[in-house]
Amino acid sequence: MTQSDQYNFAYLDEQTKRMIRRALLKGLAIPGYQVPFASREMPMPYGWGTGGVQVSAACLTPEDTLKVIDQGADDTTNAVSIRKFFERTAGVATTEHTPDASLIQTRHRIPETPLTQDQILVYQVPIPEPLRFLEPRETETRKMHELQEYGLMHVRLYEDIAQHGHIATAYAYPVRVEGRYVMDPSPIPKFDNPKLGDCPAIQLFGAGREQRIYALPPYTQVVSLDFDDHPFDPSKADHDCALCGAADSYLDEVIVDDRGGRIFVCSDTDYCAGRRAETGGPE
Amino acid sequence: MYVAVKGGERAIDNAHAWLAEERRGDTDIAELSIDQIREQLALAVNRVMAEGSLYDPDLAALAIKQARGDLIEAIFLIRAYRTTLPRLGHSEPVDTGAMACERRISATFKDLPGGQVLGPTFDYTHRLLDFALAAEGDAAPPAPQAPADDVPKPRVSDFLNREGLIETQPDSDTPPPDLTRAPLEFPAERALRLQSLARGDEGFVLGMAYSTQRGYGRTHAFVGELRMGQVAVEMEIPELGFAIEIGEITLTECETVNQFKGSKTEPAQFTRGYGLVFGHSERKAISMSLVDRALRWQELGEENSGAPAQDEEFVLAHADNIQAMGFLEHIKLPHYVDFQSELELVRKIRAEASQAATPEAAE
């Protein structure tokens, strides 16, 4: 008996998947609103992507092709582990190639290759509440969302500018969805924020430990918070990729010796490999 | 040539193989059996059942073996297994008043109907290492036995009640909420708080309870009664139309009696805190009852002194060790991307600061 015989397709039982799908539908109907859901204990720890895994499990069908990335890469340990989990429990096809995937689960990045209407992007979310570090109480933050009381967030961003000359948030940069809810885009670098809006794919966000699901339907308006005189700046390292030469992709800094030597390479390994294959660059 | 993080898959497989070898330890030493763990590390098994929210000593023992004795890891294994089990129904409320007590003590009355039963407790042992235990094959002599008494052991709170000295807790037929099937939302009713505390981390609940004793939300608790023993679990079978006994479980129950000065509507009387835990887990049951009482400040019209143990959001959101350990330990996962974006921001701010400082230095 293989492992997959002992568990339902994609691990979760159908009742649980239904419960999650209801939360997803509600999330899609109210873009950016955090829907409480009865998150289950998963066979990987909270913080390892249990929210994303539950959302993926609820969305997967046997015909799907799954891609899993962590930090933009398909071969980081946790991406490998989650991909194996679904290979074992759902038996779905997997790919590392962004255009071939129908469902992509991600931690901390949005793929560089533009997504399409046939794709779902599932984010793993640690702290879904964008106001959490301004107000630790859930009862309070829910009220703030109800009343669209987002002044505190603007004050914080303003204080950053007063103190540092910049908004000192480099990742998990807050956004406003369709002029209504302020939303945490998960800890993606702010470089990725412009890809959130007007995206043809469905974007789903799962926070397992915090028991929240939220969503962006296709072509939703998503605006990074800023000020007229301090417009949002999706910055990245001021280099080109050392492997594929891309000037438009988000770069990881890799330390190559103990004398301060470093190179910058694409964090999206599939994008980088694809470019190298086209140009015959280094493997 | 630069190889970033390739080989993740092989590294994971090798790590698991190494872990399995470490778990077994020196193969010249006999392997632990599940039975040995269940029988000889029973209190560890109890803790895993309580915080894993699954009453199954064999599975708990297996989890402890698999987790190399890391009890939180064992609790995690049990929780992850438990969540896959089908819900066939729910039991009738257990009657702890009819418990077959192995231990039953009251700190508020010297003697009481049913008597004090000390039972198997560490309370009056001297904590001296027993080197005789280090010698193998040292079987403990059997403990002396008294004939079983069938004297009923009514709850202390019940006879305080006759004088109206303690608050009454009216029966309720409302089905309790289920923390494992609905998201935790605030404010939480008492039944939900108790459910959360019952599976909460023993160390966390102990720390919270201790803080109330040291003045952070003081509730003047006495252990009215602490009892441990077996209770029957009954379940109504739809085909039969009545409840039948489906098994027995060991529980520890603690009821504290707390001073209450009275309010505008209530005369001075004692109030209660309640703790109920799977297995023999006194420390947890007592801690739970203190925290339960502290969390009831609003219902009893007491003052919120701003103490952590009075704050249900703080207590309930942080009591679960599986949530806590997961989120804490996840920071060892890769965060290259976030760190990179911070690096760039810090470099940018520093560059601007040094540029701003240079003209002044030249003057």
Give B180's contacts in chain A (Cβ within 8 Å): 38, 40
Q: Give the global pTM.
A: 0.90
What is the complex's ipTM, to 2 decimals?
0.86
Question: What is residue A166's predicted lDDT score, i.e. its pLDDT?
Answer: 85
pLDDT for residue B353: 83
pLDDT of amino acid B360: 56
Percent of chain A with pLDDT over 90: 87
Compute chain A's Rg from CA coordinates: 19
Beta carbons of A39 and A45 less than 8 angstroms apart: no
With contact defined as beta carbons under 8 Å apart, do B199 and B53 qualify? Answer: yes
> Quick check: helix, strand or coil at residue A263?
strand
pLDDT tens, per residue, chain B with 363 residues: 344 445 678 888 999 999 999 999 999 999 999 999 999 999 999 999 999 999 999 999 999 999 999 999 999 999 999 988 888 888 999 999 999 999 999 998 888 888 899 999 999 999 999 888 887 766 778 888 888 778 888 888 887 777 788 888 888 888 889 998 899 999 999 999 999 999 999 999 999 999 999 999 888 899 999 999 999 999 999 899 999 999 999 999 999 999 877 777 777 888 999 999 999 999 999 999 999 999 999 988 888 999 999 999 999 999 999 999 999 999 999 888 889 988 888 888 888 888 888 765 544
Query: For chain A, what is the mean pLDDT?
Result: 93
Put simply, the answer to whether A265 touches B4 (Cβ < 8 Å) is yes
- What's residue A173's pLDDT? 96
Residues of A annotated as catalytic are 32, 241, 244, 266, 272
Q: What residues of chain A lie within 8 A of the CB of B326, using their CB?
A: 45-48, 50, 209
Flag if A253 and B343 touch (Cβ within 8 Å): yes
DSSP element (H, E) containing A204: strand A202-207
List residues bridging with A171 in a β-sheet: A189
For residue B103, how far is the Cα from the chain centroid?
20
Do residues A221 and A198 touch, judged by C-beta distance below 8 A? yes
Cα–Cα distance measured from residue B79 to residue B54, given in angstroms and rounded to the nearest whole number? 8
**What was the pLDDT predicted at B28?**
96
- Cα Rg for chain B, rounded, in angstroms? 26
Look at residue A260 and give its three-state secondary structure.
Answer: coil
Q: A–B: how many Cβ contacts below 8 A? A: 151
From A192, A183, A164, select the one nearest A225 (Cα to Cα).
A183
Mean of pLDDT values over A52-67: 98
Mean of the pLDDT values across residues A181-187?
98
Chain A residues touching B199 at Cβ < 8 A? none
The tens digit of pLDDT for each residue in A20-41 reads 999 999 999 999 999 999 999 9
Q: How many CB atoms lie within 10 A of CB A88?
A: 13
Domain boundaries, chain B: 13-82, 96-120+151-169+179-325
CA distance to partner chain A, nearest, from residue B292 (Å): 20
Phi-psi region of B174 (alpha: psi -120 to 50; beta: other; left: phi over 0): beta
**Top-level class of domain A3-224:** alpha beta
Both structure tokens of A23: 């939360």
Contact A70, A41 (CB under 8 A): no
- Residues B70 and B320: their CA atoms lie apart, in Å, by 16
B302-306 LR contacts (CB < 8 Å, sep 24+) = B305/B216, B305/B217
Alpha-carbon span B3 to A7, nearest angstrom: 36
Cβ within 8 Å, pair B183-A37: yes
User: Which chain A residue shows the shortest CA-CA distance from B4?
Assistant: A254
Question: Which tokens hold the place of B132?
Answer: 């005789």
